[in-house]
Amino acid sequence: MPSLSSVSVKICGINSASAADAVMRAGADFGGLVFFDKSPRNLMLESGASLAARMRGKLKLAALVVDADDEMLGRIAAQVKPDYFQLHGKETPSRAADILARFSIPLIKALPVAAPGDVAKANDYDMAQMFLFDAAPAEGATRPGGNAAAFDWQLMKNAAVTKPWFLAGGLTPDNVGRAIAVSGAAMVDVSSGVESAPGVKSDTAVEHFVSAARHRSAA
């Protein structure tokens, strides 16, 4: 029998009004806006600000950046006004602390996972409010995430992470329930797994993903 869970859902890579509306209709908790030019979901600041205004108050908004400089972060902070900066690059703990001090916007630090020790790296980022654990990119990949790749969800089971964290990487409407059961995740993040083509969100897939995460089979 399916059981209603308290899992929080984040849909990342929202890049159109129709996608934003679909995510809100589906009842997701977080929406992600990507500001990284190598991503098919990349947004110009004006578009990001417009989408943020459309979703504000209905979703918690994360601005995904990859090793962004202060000028870019300042422009995003001023125009988009996100609830979180999602640091998806190789930002060091000292850089993350500096970003938090400069902009006073809470941080989600994304960390790539390929081996058990990778999860423990979260302990170095005590300034982050939340974490996002994603599959480590393959050698030669141009993007640090959004590559439709999963990692071993067992690595998260009983992980000693003291702050809220998202499970990400290769999640789809078909596997998210199993991923939650195996990893123990209370928060999940998806982007390419709810797309009909790179950067094109599927309304149906978004709806099915949120439903599958919330009404997963009891395990």
| CATH homologous superfamily, domain 8-214 | Aldolase class I (3.20.20.70)
Mean model confidence pLDDT for the chain:
92
**In this structure, how many other beta carbons lie within 10 angstroms of the beta carbon of residue 104?**
8
Q: Which residue would you say has higher pLDDT here, 82 or 6?
A: 82
Q: Which helix (H) or strand (E) holds 11?
A: strand 8-11
Give the residue-averaged pLDDT of 53-67.
Answer: 98
Percent of the chain topping pLDDT 70: 91
Report DSSP state, residue 187. E
Asked if the model's pLDDT at residue 142 lies above 70, the reply is no
Report the alpha-carbon distance of residue 132 to residue 165 in Å, rounded.
Answer: 5
Q: How does pLDDT run across 5-47, given as a tens digit for each residue? A: 589 999 999 999 999 999 999 999 999 999 999 999 999 999 9
Q: How does pLDDT run across 188-211, given as a tens digit for each residue? A: 999 999 999 999 999 999 999 999
- Residues 6 or more apart in contact with residue 189 via CB below 8 angstroms: 9, 10, 11, 12, 30, 32, 132, 134, 166, 167, 168, 171
Q: How does pLDDT run across 162-181, given as a tens digit for each residue? A: 999 999 999 999 999 999 99
> pTM for this one?
0.91
DSSP conformation letters of 81-125 = --SEEEE-S---HHHHHHHHHHH---EEEEEEESSHHHHGGGGG-
Look at residue 170 and give its three-state secondary structure: coil
pLDDT of residue 219: 43
Query: What are the residue boundaries of the structural domains of the chain, listed by start?
Result: 8-214
Instruction: Specify the length of the chain in residues.
Output: 219
pLDDT of residue 30: 98
With cut-offs at 50, 70 and 90, classify the pLDDT of residue 116.
confident
With cut-offs at 50, 70 and 90, classify the pLDDT of residue 160.
confident
pLDDT of residue 149: 73
